[in-house]
Homo-oligomer: A and B are copies of this chain.
């Protein structure tokens, strides 16, 4: 059975979540996940350095074959959007520098893939990520959970694509 390793990333200027899972047929196996704590680095340029470096380290350590990231919900706060954009830019850069393609999913697609509904609250996502990846009882941060959710969404989306292709043949 072919195995596919997927990295999901949830960028932020304070915390950047990341999650690696293997897809083997219908099974999703949690490999590793965590968050990069850029807020400790002080000013924005140093934070960007930390986020970029952190994602490069994850890519090198776990060698994902495919990566996924959430499309950003543009907030009414322009300054917050700008800061998030800068964090997201260096995270994306680290992925494409490794030669990886990046799939993007809207927040409601990610929520729907994990919980069956596009407007599920954060706690429900966290609970479902735990169930799907068999992480019950383990402490995982919201950033970590969001990164794993987008990786799960990517895995499902691939599964659907493959099924659709088979059905079409």
Q: How far is the CB of A103 from chain B (nearest CB, A)?
A: 11
Distance between Cα atoms of A60 and B34 in the complex (Å): 34
Q: Which residues of A contact B (CB under 8 A)?
A: 44-46, 48-49, 52, 72, 74-76, 78-79, 81-90, 92-93, 95-97, 102
Tell whether, in the assembled complex, residue B74 and residue A81 are in contact, meaning their CB atoms are under 8 Å apart: yes
Distance between Cα atoms of A78 and B78 in the complex (Å): 6
Distance between Cα atoms of A92 and B47 in the complex (Å): 11
Residue from B45, B46, B82, B96 within 8 A of A85 (CB atoms): B82
> What's the number of copies of this chain in the assembled complex?
2
Nearest first, the 9 closest Cβ-Cβ pairs linking A and B are: A85-B85, A89-B89, A86-B89, A74-B78, A45-B96, A82-B85, A81-B81, A85-B86, A48-B93
Distance between Cα atoms of A151 and B23 in the complex (Å): 50
Q: Could you list 27 examples of A-B contacts with CB < 8 Å?
A: A44-B92, A45-B95, A45-B102, A46-B96, A48-B89, A48-B92, A48-B96, A49-B93, A49-B97, A52-B93, A74-B78, A74-B82, A81-B81, A81-B85, A82-B82, A82-B85, A82-B88, A83-B85, A85-B88, A85-B89, A86-B86, A86-B88, A86-B89, A86-B92, A88-B89, A89-B93, A90-B93
Distance between Cα atoms of A93 and B82 in the complex (Å): 15
